Copies of this chain bind each other. A is one copy, B any other.
Amino acid sequence: MEAQKALYLPTTSKVKELINSEIIGKIKYLEFKAGFPGRFTYDHWMYDLSLGGGALYGSATYTIEYLQYLFDHPNLTIDGTCIKCSTGADEICNFQLKINNSILASSTIAMNVALKNEAVFYGELGYIVVPNYWKSNQLDLYLDDGSHSHYDFPYQSEFVYEIEHIHQCINNGRLESPIMNKEKTIETIKLVEQLYQKWK
């Protein structure tokens, strides 16, 4: 099983529950933003494409696998645009996913600028905001009737839930997670690779 902390967070479960309850109606648009400037210098492997660097390789799997989980293994297609820096690595990228050909998701990952780091789920009746979606411990629900609900899911570390899940799998004799299985990982890698090849 690939490391994927985001799918096991209580916040993520709550997002899935809210979406499935259709409290915000049918989802139409999703927006993901993650910016982390100044964390790496140009000689870091994150800026070396031959070592698996670049914004897309570094973080796109978070968005894609999050969507696979939330929408129960949907049909996904990908496209997008990036800006490369002097090392040849994409230091900022925006990619879009069509989810079951009915929902549009746009995800921006930036190594060169601070962004409002959040995921927003826009539905016909309101929207959900998840700050720092890859390690979220809270979310906000806004409905078109003007109501607002805040949910907190405090944790000691965002890795706890993933580790607990691995323990559960091992204790149950599982060699593979039913949530993040080999099939989902391979599909994700294919989508990322498709964009990577387009940008070459």
A85 to B128, CA, bound (A): 24
The answer to whether B92 and A104 have CB atoms under 8 Å apart is yes
A122 within 8 A of B: yes
A197 to B184, CA, bound (A): 32
Closest to A144 in B: B114
Residues in B neighbouring A98, C-beta threshold 8 A: 81, 83
Residues of A109-150 at the interface with B, using a CB-CB cut-off of 8 Å, are 110, 112-116, 120, 122-124, 127, 144
Residues in B neighbouring A113, C-beta threshold 8 A: 28-29, 122-124
Interface string of A88-119 (1 = CB under 8 A from B): 00001110101001111010101011111000
Q: Mostly helix, strand, loop or mixed at chain A's interface?
A: strand
A122 to B92, CA, bound (A): 12
A79 within 8 A of B: yes
Closest to A123 in B: B113
A82 within 8 A of B: yes
Residues in B neighbouring A92, C-beta threshold 8 A: 28-29, 104
Smallest distance from the beta carbon of A159 to chain B beta carbons, Å? Answer: 29
* Copies of chain A in the complex: 2
Residues in B neighbouring A82, C-beta threshold 8 A: 104
The answer to whether A115 and B106 have CB atoms under 8 Å apart is no
Smallest distance from the beta carbon of A29 to chain B beta carbons, Å? Answer: 5
Smallest distance from the beta carbon of A11 to chain B beta carbons, Å? Answer: 21
Asked whether A110 and B35 contact (CB < 8 A) given A83-B103, A96-B80, A104-B81, the answer is: no
The answer to whether A94 and B106 have CB atoms under 8 Å apart is yes
A154 within 8 A of B: no
Partner among B33, B37, B104, B122 whose Cβ is within 8 Å of the Cβ of A83: B104
* Complex A-B: 13 CB contacts under 8 Å: A28-B110, A29-B115, A37-B124, A79-B81, A81-B104, A82-B104, A83-B102, A92-B104, A104-B108, A106-B106, A113-B123, A114-B122, A116-B120
